[in-house]
Structure 1
């Protein structure tokens, strides 16, 4: 399990753990934990006043090294053990262990499998306490990807995810003049999901501009370029009676097989949804 966590402080030892190989703190009232990185890999943990020993796998860098830290990753008011190590030049892998009072042992924090997540596990994670959201960011090749997680009970679920759009820029510019900041990165479709995996909403925004947590997604806006732009009911349709005209402003919501879903706010009829072909497959 590769998990990355940044920030946090507290417990018995208040010193930041950027380079240390041992740490001591309380995982629950009256339950001290002392963890030490083993020379042969993994982490040895002594739990409770009796010092029961548990071995956890942790993570390691190319030299077999790891660093120890602690943070409340699951928002239960207690600190969790965090083992982290650099992977490559920009990514950081971290294993997070939570104390289970019933067994008196540490349990690995796991992410759900079989989801639309871009990163394999959690990477370079930031913990947003105000929205109770975990933000996981990883780099693959030249691209950065972000996955957001929340808790449903005691388990994590994928709450928000991005999918990069692979439209050709000249083809897009021939149809829509998109309002997006240069530092927002390439366009991506952001989706919000329910705990059961249902997609609740889509919106197109910059791939590097993580949407605000806990509020509805808002897509970037664009100006229609063509003098008469057909607006179709679904991707692949070949006929329609609906049209947009040059200068109409739309909000970008989704992309599918070279088609963009847009929302036009008609002054008299309200929001109008439709699909615009950009680059047919």
Structure 2
């Protein structure tokens, strides 16, 4: 399922669940066990904050929370860090399709709830945790958001207690300039091309691949590269973006995989029958 559809489905299901249980439980209150023997009573306040009482310590906190345009939010208990105990999660609609999310984890050393914040990384498209989904099977968090006409997904994983950006995408507007050189077959359901990147906990890029910007790669699996075929008789293949000369070239109908993009230059991989994998950069704006 493309993540634009998954996000809308999640929002609809969330609203349906809220309505279904409105008569059975107070949506402004939640009780949960955040660690062995540690209970939390959370109550939404009129200003959008969350009043918290921890037991048996009796410690009190007021957390910022999140709210929609009418000052509403909903609380839930979700195991966001995969330790077997739930975190306190606040969710609120933002605009027509986005959802703001705040997550609070219990820190035993401080005996209080602390906001979960990823390690800052300017390559995250959504910024904060938005439309959060918890993927227990591969221990990954997905943050989804819409900006203008585009949907984005940031994927996060833990390194010890640190939450880091594991995968993100960067949308490309290359279709028209790329097609005269490398043709990529697309269908009516295809999204715009995007560079997907996988990062290590320190923010270093481990792999990149150009693929469908609306098709989220499966976490834990290698990125899938979209392929195309060369459209011109001879297509120069450069070692680096910006190079002026090269002795290498591809020929018409060579099939290549698309790996990365930089300032209009596209990195491709060609499997040479005798020499194996050949990497290089194609200039789409000569």
Same fold (TM over 0.5): yes
- In structure 2, the CA distance between the partners of 1:88 and 1:41, relative to structure 1 (3 Å rule), is same
Task: For residue 62 of structure 1, give the secondary structure of its aligned residue in structure 2.
Answer: coil
Aligned mate of 1:88, from 87, 95, 98: 95
Say which SS state the counterpart of residue 44 (structure 1) adopts: strand
Whether the 8 Å CA contact 2:121–2:203 is kept in 1: the answer is no
Structure 2 equivalent of residue 153 of structure 1: 160
Tell me by how many angstroms 1:166 deviates.
2.3
Q: Is the 8 A contact 1:115 1:158 kept in 2?
A: no
Alpha-carbon distance in structure 2 between the residues aligned to 1:222 and 1:268: 20
* Structure 1 residues 207-263: Cα deviation after superposition (integer angstroms, max 9, x where no partner): 111111112212100011112211111112222211211111000001111111100
Instruction: Give the equivalent residue in structure 1 for 2:242.
Output: 236
Q: 1:118 aligns with which of 125, 143, 157?
A: 125
Unaligned 5+ segments in structure 1 are: 8-14
Matched, 1:274 2:280: yes
How many angstroms does 1:114 deviate by? Answer: 4.2
Q: Which secondary structure does the structure 2 equivalent of 1:95 belong to?
A: strand
Structure 1 segments, 4+ long, off by >6 Å, are 15-19
1:189 aligned partner: 195
2:254 paired residue among 248, 253, 270: 248
Report the Cα distance in structure 2 between the residues aligned to 1:131 and 1:25, rounded to whole angstroms: 24
For structure 2, list consecutive stretches of 5 or more residues without a partner in the other structure. Answer: 1-6, 12-19
Partner of 1:262: 268
3-state DSSP class of the match of 1:35?
strand
Q: Deviations over 1:94-127 (max 9, x none)?
A: 1100111222211110122243111121101111
Matches within 5 A, 1:31-46: 31-46=38-53
DSSP 3-state at the match of 2:96: coil
| 1:162 lines up with 2:174 in the alignment | no
Higher relative contact order (CA 8 A, sep 6+): 1
TM-score, normalised by the number of residues in structure 2: 0.88
CA RMSD of aligned residues (A): 2.0
Task: Give the alignment's TM-score, normalised by structure 1.
Answer: 0.90
